[in-house]
Structure 1
Amino acid sequence: MHAAAERETLVSVQGVVKHFPIKQGIVFKKEVARVHAVDGVDLEVRSGETVGIVGESGSGKSTLARCVTGLHPVTSGRILFEGTDITKLSGAGLKAFRKDVQMIFQDPYGSLNPRRRVGSIIGDPFAIHGLASGAERKKRVQELMELVGLNPEHYNRFPAEFSGGQRQRIGVARALAVRPKLIVCDEPVSALDVSIQAQVINLLKDLQREFGLTYIFIAHDLSVVRYVSDRVGVMYLGRIGEAAAAGDLYERPRHPYSAALLSAASIADPDEAERAERIVLIGDVPSPIDPPSGCRFHPRCPKAEERCTVDEPELEVKEGDAADHLTACHFPVEPGENLAREHAGIRQESTEPELPEVEQ
């Protein structure tokens, strides 16, 4: 992590807010509420590293990713890419930025036009940015296909003629075509079989080493995020609750939500899985239309006190933590503290399956 700390900052997200208005009316539409998808996020991504983003569905992970790539205009805040505020870009400046930032989408079929051949899909970036045409473009597309593990002879096939894993490799090839500096991976393996997931993840890691790529990696699978990430940010209801080096966060989570989330991760070792205690949060995730005041996690938090309901915690270094371990919590989890046993707000659930009774 010392080497990572010396790397230059590639992306700096500063107080980014993204709200989606809810309107009513037939002729004259009136805004009646807003969805607080992302609500004041600060994040830094250093050159050459992988930053993982985890959280429940609806936490704002994908919206944040689309703001970073310029697909969603921000409501407020700044996103700096190599020192340039991309929220103010337009025209040629925006086109140049999008050459440096690419995205791999979750659905490997929905993100590909089923009516177009694979060669033209992968070749689009070359045409858009004027990098190659004709025979040269075909040659470079086939080189990309071979690089990601596809048969170059399948240049003229349609996406439906490929498996799910192969289609995701097509998406990787398309993202890699213009040699971007940053690739945002929005749950790139969640729709794939486990064995295929491993192949795609290893491909991404190999490409990162070969081309010096920087990744923002969004996923639900905590074990996948730990494997690929240098640093991890945990999002809840539009905000980051904790951010730290991957090993540090997984071994010593400080935010109660992080601890509960990590306890739900699958464990390969059956002996360790038998000893593990799963923490199950009570209650439902509040609506992003009307988020709670103060700390947004306080309605479900076992350590919440009156201060948590009115005072929003800052994302900061807590006493005894590393300089890059940030937590937004007034009462962080202490080393050795067992939330399931010591607090009534969370109940403990056994991870062992219940076996049917056998009649004697």
Structure 2
Amino acid sequence: MNASDTSNSTPKAPATARGGTDHDVLLEVENLQKWFPVSSDRLFRRGKEHVQAVDGVDLQVRAGETLGLVGETGCGKSTLARCMTRLYDVTSGRVTFDGTDITSLSRRELRPLRREIQMIFQDPYGSLNPRRRVGSIIGDPFAIHGVGKGAERKRKVQELMELVGLNPEHYNRFPAEFSGGQRQRIGVARALAMRPKLIVCDEPVSALDVSIQAQIINLLADLQQEFNLTYVFIAHDLSVVRHVSDRIAVMYLGKVVEVAEADALHEAPRHPYTNALLSAVPLADPDLSDRRERIILRGDVPSPLNPPTGCRFHPRCPKAADTCAAEVPPLISRLNDGPDHLAACHFPVEIGENLVEARPTIAAERTEFAPELVNGDQS
């Protein structure tokens, strides 16, 4: 494929929400950047370098949906989540929640907003203070926002514990007395206390056994239906993300490279990176698994201290051409997919295209290390 083939990739305006109305967009990030300064020890380089953890992300979360966010370790998923919730200040760009620009709000101005946006953290062991009793941990949101006192607060906390499947009589126990799955239920109860509109789930099941993962996922689904919650669900496991998500956004090295409805993404991925990720997802049918060829990408993920020019995936992409190194591809609809399927690729993958046989075209920019699977860390 050459540069002239991009004529089939007519840009289309992305949909803003279910039904195509702005009123359904609960949270929106626009050209979001989060860079972390690091000291440089290089002899002739003064000042500081920056880790470009998130660089120019545009993304919308629609009310009532679950938006899945996937990508390799270090691609910026958790950093993006913390920028969405304003746990991190952004370097540039804008975060809008429920029609309000929250990018530059002070801590005092953010306090009322904390009732509406909550987070469930990855590590159920490290996210709970081991020196405090569970009742106090779950009751913190009530104390911070001045909701209820004494017996009333205890009743609310015990109702939350029962709601997430914990024994209310264990109100005075410490986190060490609970299993990993039970500790994550404590985190869910704490996030749910103020009945938020949006909950960001930062890999909430990655540290749990498979059977416990299913229980937590089912719990989150039940709570979403009961309280009309909106989720941003971050994970490595694409099969889990497909199961829980309405739409999926794929990140690579600080940028969103593809956004689509969950089924559309799995059936017709357009970005070569998404295609490579899906080729490594385990299949339940052994015959299908044997017939499928995995896409092996050469080289390592580039450093976010000095990311590649143009498309950041081009040094590892089997379809890369000179255009990919020179120009940043916009995140737009391609190959007549419709306004809900967006991909940032100059040469999107077509249905039935075999990338296993593709050959790199910019050899000088590729490392010659041993091949590795693109989703090497599925933990």
Structure 1 length-normalised TM: 0.92
Tell me by how many angstroms 1:341 deviates. 2.4
- What is the deviation of 1:344? 5.3
Bigger shift: 276-285 or 103-112? 276-285
Q: Any idea what the Cα deviations from partners look like across 1:36-82, whole Å, max 9, x if unmatched?
A: 00000000000000000000011000000000011100000000001
SS in 1 for 2:357: helix
Question: How much does 1:349 deviate?
Answer: 9.7
What is the aligned partner in structure 2 of residue 196 from structure 1? 212
Partner of 1:131 in structure 2? 147
Kindly state the Cα deviation for residue 235 of structure 1 after the two structures are TM-superposed.
0.2
Give the number of equivalent residue pairs: 346
**1:336-355 alignment runs, 5 A limit:** 336-343=352-359
Answer whether contact 1:48 1:212 (CA < 8 A) is retained. Answer: yes
Taking a change above 3 Å as real, the CA distance of residues 325 and 284 of structure 1, as seen in their structure-2 partners, is same
Q: After superposition, give the CA deviation of every residue in 1:170-226 in whole Å (9 maximum; x if it has no partner).
A: 000000001000000000000000000000000000000000000000000111100
**Residue type at the aligned position of 1:85:** D
2:193 maps to 1:177: yes
Quote the offset at 1:319 in angstroms.
2.6
Q: In 2, distance between residues paired with 1:143 and 1:5?
A: 38
CA contact (8 A) 2:318 2:355 kept: yes
Point out 4+ residue stretches in structure 1 off by more than 2 angstroms. 1-7, 341-350
Q: Is the 8 A contact 1:279 1:349 kept in 2?
A: no
CA RMSD of aligned residues (A): 2.0
Stretch of structure 1 that moved more, 240-249 or 82-91 = 82-91
Match for residue 79 of structure 2?
63
- TM-score, scaled relative to structure 2: 0.88
2:7 is matched with which residue?
Answer: none
Cα deviation, 1:302-351, whole Å, max 9, x if unaligned, reads: 1100011111100001132121100100001011101002445799999x
Amino acid at match of 1:231: R
Q: Quote the Cα distance in structure 2 between the aligned partners of 1:110 and 1:57.
A: 19
Higher relative contact order (CA 8 A, sep 6+): 2
Answering whether residue 284 of structure 2 is matched by residue 268 of structure 1, we say yes
Contact 2:298 2:371 (8 Å CA) reproduced: no
Distance 1:157 1:276 in 2: 49
1:175 to 1:137, Cα distance in 2 relative to 1, 3 A: same
Instruction: Give the aligned partner of residue 114 of structure 2.
Output: 98
TM superposition shift of 1:23: 2.2
Q: Which residue is 1:330 aligned to?
A: 346
Structure 1 counterpart of 2:221: 205
Q: Which of the residues 283, 290, 302 maps onto 1:286?
A: 302
Question: Relative to 1, partners in 2 of residues 1:143 and 1:319: Cα closer, same or farther, differing over 3 Å?
Answer: same
Map 1:1-360; keep pairs closer than 5 Å. Answer: 5=20, 8-23=24-39, 31-343=47-359
CA distance in 2, matches of 1:348, 1:69: 37
SS state of the match for residue 223, structure 1? helix
Aligned-partner Cα distance in 1 for 2:56–2:360: 30
Within 1, Cα distance between the matches of 2:37 and 2:372? 39
Structure 2: which amino acid aligns with 1:283?
G
Q: Is the 8 A contact 1:340 1:348 kept in 2?
A: no
Which runs of 5 or more structure 2 residues have no equivalent in the other structure? 1-14, 374-379
Is residue 298–residue 372 contact of structure 2 (8 Å, CA) maintained in 1? no
Percent identity over paired residues:
67
- Measure the CA separation in 2 of the matches of 1:274 and 1:15: 42
| Structure 1 portions without partners, runs of 5+ | 351-360
Three-state SS of the structure 1 residue aligned to 2:347 is coil
Distance in 2 (CA, whole Å) between partners of 1:349 and 1:89 is: 43
- Residue identity opposite 1:55 in structure 2: G
3-state SS, counterpart of residue 284 of structure 2:
coil
Q: Distance in 1 between matches of 2:20 and 2:168?
A: 39
Tell me what 1:354 maps to.
none
